């Protein structure tokens, strides 16, 4: 896998082995008992309040958060600003969560800050979750590395997410809201959007990306009005910012980040702009044969993935390697992909913690008319059809299978 040293990865997680990892505990209700800002404030105090030394931009939404964060960072860097970016989850290496100017921090830097912070945690007997401590660790690291800006991606939701402890970001962006994490966030778009809109703060402008469901925009507008936040829509004119190979959904993300820069008075420079590597976002990791990985894990994102691939590879018929974790919209994902797939290879995602919907996928595939095979565990390219274009999707953990087998070392 790219940029991954298994020994050093283990060293990082061993440092924080005593701290609970909510990302590995599916099915919890979204409540203040497990998801709360109460534990984050003492962490921030312990880290000398790093958020007070950074200009913070906050991004929530169901899909496109990570890409939006990286595109925003790239624009800030082109304008001459040093920018830290905190993302989740990671694909190949935990360092994807801790980036400066869209480059992974070194293992040496990450491990040094991690050891120092964990000593402080033990001295104060604090017991945050792993995500909570990584949030504050990232900001502490960005301050130490002399960043001016920090771009924060929410983990789940927004209102009760650890990143939302920051009282006054300079701007917020809410990317498309759709059905996901329903056991945590609610069963309707309005309920989910309420959680995402929880990042909107009094007097802080918010950019609302194009929404697939009108009720999501309604909720975001109402929240902005209630707290006196400027409600802004993405820039309509891309001007010089044209990228022919960028999928349509990424163009929408780009319009949003350009608008955020307008609100901040930032003037990005096209001649200094470097399009970031958007891992597992309609990402081509091999050309011959073609291998694409994408973390689409709900119906809306699967539909957008299909539209993007039809535009980028109009004559290509993909073998779709599909694995979906528990409690996702399996039928919606399958229905979006079925008209596009030459054949399916159905599998378990590579996660021991999230479960698998393989049996449900088989039930959907049997009457679909699309050829399929079942390979429960994929560990070698020899298990896949040789020389055929491959798409790994349905989950970050299915994209990870493609990354493991075909990603550059």
Intervals of CATH 3.90.190.20 along the chain: 283-406
Distance separating alpha carbons of residues 219 and 11, to the nearest angstrom: 43
Cβ pair 359, 348 in contact under 8 A: no
Q: Which two tokens stand for residue 373?
A: 């095979």
Cα–Cα nearest to 275, from 243, 235, 234: 243
Distance separating alpha carbons of residues 254 and 277, to the nearest angstrom: 14
Q: Which of 38-42, 181-185, 218-222, 251-255 has the lowest mean pLDDT?
A: 181-185
pLDDT digits (tens, 9 = 90+) for 324-365: 998 889 999 999 999 999 999 999 998 767 789 999 999 999
Number of neighbouring beta carbons within 10 Å of residue 336 = 22
Judge: domain 6-272, CATH 3.40.1190.10. Answer: yes
Confidence of residue 71 (pLDDT cuts 50, 70, 90): very high
Q: Give percent helix, percent strand, percent coil of the chain, each to the nearest 5.
A: 40, 15, 45
Chain center to CA of 24:
16
Intervals of CATH 3.40.1190.10 along the chain: 6-272
Q: Is the pLDDT of residue 259 over 70?
A: yes
Cα–Cα nearest to 19, from 121, 154, 98: 121
Please give the pLDDT value at position 173.
98
The CATH class for the domain spanning 283-406 reads alpha beta
Q: Is the pLDDT of residue 409 over 60?
A: no
Q: Which of 33-42, 168-177, 196-205 has the lowest mean pLDDT?
A: 33-42
- Report the largest interatomic distance among the alpha carbons of the chain, rounded to a whole angstrom: 61
Residue by residue, DSSP assigns 91-123 as SS-GGGGEEETTEEPPHHHHHHHHHHHHHHHHH
DSSP reduced 3-state for 79: coil
DSSP reduced 3-state for 127: coil
Cα–Cα nearest to 103, from 134, 64, 77: 77
Cβ pair 175, 62 in contact under 8 A: yes
């Amino acid at each position: 896998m790219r940029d991954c040293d298994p020994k050093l990865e283990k060293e990082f997680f061993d440092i924080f082995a005593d701290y609970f990892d909510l990302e590995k505990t599916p099915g919890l209700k979204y409540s203040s008992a497990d998801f709360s800002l109460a534990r984050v404030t003492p962490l921030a105090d312990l880290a000398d309040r790093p958020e007070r030394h950074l200009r913070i931009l906050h991004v929530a939404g169901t899909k496109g958060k990570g890409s939006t964060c990286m595109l925003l960072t790239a624009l800030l860097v082109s304008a001459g600003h040093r920018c830290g970016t905190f993302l989740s989850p990671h694909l190949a290496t935990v360092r994807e969560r801790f980036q400066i100017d869209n480059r992974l921090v070194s293992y040496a830097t990450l491990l040094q800050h991690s050891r120092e912070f964990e000593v402080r945690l033990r001295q104060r007997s604090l017991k945050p979750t792993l995500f909570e401590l990584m949030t504050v660790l990232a900001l502490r690291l960005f301050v130490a590395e002399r960043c001016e800006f920090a771009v924060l991606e929410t983990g789940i939701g927004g209102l009760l997410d650890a990143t939302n402890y920051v009282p006054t970001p300079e701007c917020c962006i809410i990317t498309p809201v759709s059905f996901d994490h329903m056991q945590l966030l609610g069963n309707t778009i309005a309920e989910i959007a309420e959680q995402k809109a929880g990042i909107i703060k009094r007097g802080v402008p918010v950019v609302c990306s194009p929404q697939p469901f009108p009720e999501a925009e309604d909720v975001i507008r109402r929240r902005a009005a209630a707290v006196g936040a400027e409600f802004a829509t993405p820039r309509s004119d891309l001007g010089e910012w044209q990228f022919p190979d960028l999928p349509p959904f990424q163009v929408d993300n780009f319009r949003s980040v350009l608008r955020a820069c307008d609100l901040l008075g930032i003037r990005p420079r096209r001649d200094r702009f470097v399009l970031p590597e958007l891992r597992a976002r309609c990402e081509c990791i091999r050309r011959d044969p073609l291998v694409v990985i994408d973390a689409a894990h709900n119906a809306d994102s699967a539909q957008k993935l299909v539209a993007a691939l039809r535009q980028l590879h109009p004559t290509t018929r993909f073998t779709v390697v599909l694995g979906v974790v528990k409690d996702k919209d399996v039928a919606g994902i399958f229905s979006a992909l079925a008209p596009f797939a030459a054949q399916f290879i159905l599998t378990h995602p590579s996660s021991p913690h999230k479960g698998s919907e393989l049996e449900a996928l088989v039930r959907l595939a049997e009457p679909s008319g699309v050829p399929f095979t079942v390979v429960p565990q994929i560990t070698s390219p020899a298990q896949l059809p040789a020389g055929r274009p491959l798409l790994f999707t349905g989950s970050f953990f299915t994209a990870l299978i493609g990354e493991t087998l075909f990603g550059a070392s």
